[in-house]
Structure 1
Amino acid sequence: MSWPRALKATARSGLTVERRRLEPLVAGRAALGLALVVGVTLALLGTEAAISSAFGAFQAAIATFQRSWRPRPTLALASGASLALSTFLGYVTGAGAHLALFLALLALWTFLSGLAWAAGPTIGIIASSNVAIMLVTVTLPTSVAGAAGHAAMIAVGGLVQAVLVVLLPVRRWGAQRDALADALAAEADYARRLRQDPVAPFDPVPLMTARNAAAVTRRQARRRPAELHGARGLAERIRPVLASLADPALGVSAEGPPRARVREILAAAATVLDAAAHAIRRGEAVDLPPGAVAALRTPDTGALLTGPPRRAADRLAALLDDVVETAEPRTETASDARARPTLLRLAPVVAAQMRAELRPDSAILRHAVRVTAVTTAGYVLGTALPFGHGYWAPMASVMVMRPDFSQTYSRSVARFGGTLLGVGLATGVVQAADPGVYASAALAVGSAFGMYLLMRTGYAASQVCVAAYVVFLLGMGGSAWTQTVYERVVLTLIGGVLAMLAYAVYPAWETPRLRGRLADWLVSDGRYAATVVAHYADPAGPVCADVRQALLDTRATRIAWQEALDRATHEPVRHRGLSRAAADDAEHALAQFGRVAMLMEAHLPERGAPPVPAAATLAEELRRSTERAGKAVRERRAPEWDELRETIATCGPLMEDPLLRKGAGLLLDALDDLAEALATPSSPT
Structure 2
Amino acid sequence: MSTEQIPSRRARPHALAPPAWLLEGLRPAPEPVPWAAVVRAAVALATPLAVGFALDEPEYGALASMGALAGVIGDTADAYRMRVLNIAVPQVVGAVGMALGTLVYGHGWVAVGALTLIALVSGMISSIGTVASASGLLLLLNAVVGAGLAMPQPWWTAPLLLLAGGLFVLVLTLLAWPVRGRQPERAAVADTYRALADLLEAAGRGPLYDERRHAVTEALNHAYDLVLGRRARVHDRSPSLVRLLAQLGAVIPLVEAAPAAHLRGRRLPPEVPAAVRELADAVEEGRTGAPGLSLPVAHTPVERALDAALRHAQKIVHLPDADPYNVDDRLGRPAALRVRLRRGLRDMALSRASWRYGLRLALCIGLAQSLVSLVEVERSYWVALTVTFVLKPDFGSVFSRAVLRALGTAGGLVIAAAVLAEVPRGWWDVPVMAVLAALVPAFSAKGYAFQTAAITPVILLLSDLLSHQGFDLIRPRLLDSLIGCAITLVFGYLLWPESWHTRIGDRLADTVDDAARYVERAFAPLPSPAAVPAARQARLQARRRIYRDLSDVRSEFQRALTEPPPTGQRAAAWFPLVIAVERIVDTTTAARVRVNHGAEPPAAQEVADLAARVRRLAEDVRGHLTPADASAPLPDPPAEDSVLAPVHDELVAALAICAPAVEEPRHRTP
TM-score range, shorter chain: 0.7 to 0.9
**In structure 2, what residue type is equivalent to 1:8?**
P
Q: 1:349: how far off?
A: 3.0
Residue 677 of structure 1 corresponds to 657
How far apart, CA to CA, are the structure 1 residues paired with 2:470 and 2:364?
27
**Structure 1 residue 196: deviation in Å?**
4.0
Q: Equivalent residue for 1:88?
A: 99
The answer to whether residue 344 in structure 2 is matched with residue 350 in structure 1 is yes
User: What does residue 274 of structure 1 align with?
Assistant: 277
CA gap 1:605/1:352 in 2 versus in 1, 3 angstroms? farther
Residue by residue, what CA displacement relative to the aligned partner does 1:123-179 show, whole Å, maximum 9, x if unpaired?
434422432233113445669x72223223322223222222222448555543443
1:349-406 Cα distance to aligned partner (Å, 9 max, x none) = 3224434641xxx4x6654443332222122223433233101011012112332897
Seen in structure 2, the aligned counterparts of structure 1 residues 9 and 96 have a Cα distance that, compared at 3 Å, is farther
1:568 and 2:560 aligned: yes
1:630 corresponds in structure 2 to: 618
The answer to whether the aligner puts 1:557 opposite 2:523 as a matched pair is no
1:120 CA displacement: 4.4
Q: Which residue, 407, 411, 415 being the options, matches 1:417?
A: 407
1:124 corresponds to: 133
Q: How big is the shift at 1:598?
A: 0.4
Runs of 5+ unmatched residues, structure 2: 1-11, 663-670
Gap change, CA 1:485 and 1:555, over 3 Å in 2: same
Task: Return the alpha-carbon distance in structure 1 between the equivalents of residues 398 and 409 of structure 2.
Answer: 16
State the alpha-carbon separation in 1 of the partners of residues 472 and 481 from structure 2: 14
Equivalent position to 1:230, from 229, 243, 246: 246
Kindly provide the amino acid, as one letter, of the partner of residue 598 in structure 1.
Answer: T
For residues 284-334 of structure 1, the C-alpha deviation after alignment (integer angstroms, 9 at most, x for no partner) is 6499998xx32x1x5xx25xx14x2353144233234236426xxx69997
Question: For residues 445 and 532 of structure 1, what CA distance do their matches in structure 2 show?
Answer: 56
Matching residue within 72, 78, 81 for 1:61: 72
Map 1:592-603 → 2, pairs under 5 A? 592-603=583-594
Q: Which moved more, 1:567-576 or 1:496-505?
A: 567-576
C-alpha spacing 1:545/1:419, structure 2 compared with 1 (3 Å): same
The structural deviation recorded for 1:38 is 4.2
Deviation string 1:92-136 (CA, Å, 9 cap, x unpaired) is 3x2331x33333332233234334453445543442243223311
Residue of structure 1 equivalent to 2:185? 176
Provide the C-alpha distance between the structure 1 equivalents of 2:503 and 2:433, rounded to a whole number of angstroms.
45
* Structure-1 separation of matches of 2:505 and 2:204: 35
CA contact (8 A) 2:387 2:485 kept: yes
* Mapping of residues 392-411 of structure 1, within 5 Å: 392-403=382-393, 407-411=397-401
Letter in 1 for 2:524: A
Is the alpha carbon distance of 1:91 and 1:681 closer, same or farther for their aligned partners in structure 2, counting shifts above 3 Å?
Answer: farther
Q: Deviations over 1:47-95 (max 9, x none)?
A: 4443333222221222113578853123221121010111122333x23
SS of equivalent residue, structure 1 residue 434:
coil
The aligned residue for residue 162 of structure 2 is 154
Q: Deviations over 1:158-213 (max 9, x none)?
A: 32222222224485555434433332222112211224459943222222222222
**Equivalent position amino acid for 2:345 in 1:** A
Structure 1 length normalisation: TM-score?
0.79
Over 3 Å counting, the alpha-carbon distance change for 1:3 and 1:175 in structure 2 is farther
User: Mean alpha-carbon deviation: is it higher for 330-339 or for 236-245?
Assistant: 330-339
C-alpha distance in structure 1 between counterparts of 2:34 and 2:52, whole Å: 28
Residue correspondence of structure 1 range 536-547 to structure 2 within 5 A = 538=528, 540-541=532-533, 544-547=536-539
CA distance in 1, matches of 2:21, 2:207: 37
Establish whether residue 321 from structure 1 lines up as the match of residue 283 from structure 2. no
**Distance (whole Å) between structure 1 residues aligned to residue 601 and residue 322 of structure 2:** 43
1:232 positional shift: 2.2
Give the SS at the match of 2:106. Answer: coil
Q: Secondary structure at the match of 1:107?
A: helix
Coordinate RMSD, CA, aligned:
4.2
Look up the SS of the partner of 1:590 in the other structure: helix
- 1:655 aligns to what? none
Contact residue 500 and residue 566 of structure 2 kept, 8 A: no
Aligned partners of 1:392 and 1:491 also within 8 Å: yes
Q: Trace 1:239-388 onto structure 2 (pairs within 5 A).
A: 239-248=255-264, 263-264=268-269, 267-281=270-284, 283=285, 285=287, 293-294=293-294, 296=295, 298=296, 301=297, 305-306=299-300, 308-309=301-302, 311-322=304-315, 324-325=317-318, 339-340=333-334, 343-355=337-349, 357-358=351-352, 362=353, 367-388=357-378
Deviates more, 1:33-42 or 1:571-580: 571-580
Once residues 239 and 250 of structure 2 are traced to their aligned partners in structure 1, the CA distance between those partners, rounded to angstroms, is: 22
Q: For the structure 1 residues 454 and 536, does the alpha-carbon distance in structure 2 shift closer, same or farther, using more than 3 Å as the test?
A: same
Residues 95 and 138 of structure 1 are in contact (CA less than 8 Å); yes or no, is this contact kept in structure 2? yes
Contact 2:257 2:302 in 1 (8 A): no
- What is the aligned length? 632
CA contact (8 A) 1:191 1:242 kept: yes
Correspondent of 1:454 among 427, 440, 443: 443
2:372 partner amino acid? G
C-alpha distance in structure 2 between counterparts of 1:398 and 1:514, whole Å: 25
Q: 2-side partners of 1:8 and 1:309: how far apart?
A: 45
Aligned pair partner of 1:524 in 514, 520, 524: 514
1:468-479 maps to which residues of 2 (within 5 A)? 468-479=457-468
TM-superposition CA deviations, 1:249-278 (whole Å, max 9, x none):
xxxxx7xxxx7xx832xx222112223334
Kindly indicate whether structure 1 or structure 2 has the higher relative contact order, using CA contacts under 8 Å at least 6 residues apart: 2
Which residue identity is paired with 1:351? L
Residues 312, 223 of structure 1: CA spacing in aligned structure 2 closer, same or farther, 3 A cutoff? closer
Greater CA deviation, 496-505 or 183-192?
A: 496-505
What residue number does 1:167 align with? 175
* Percent identical: 19
Comparing 27-36 and 619-628, the one that deviates more: 619-628
Q: Which runs of 5+ in 1 are unaligned?
A: 249-253, 653-657
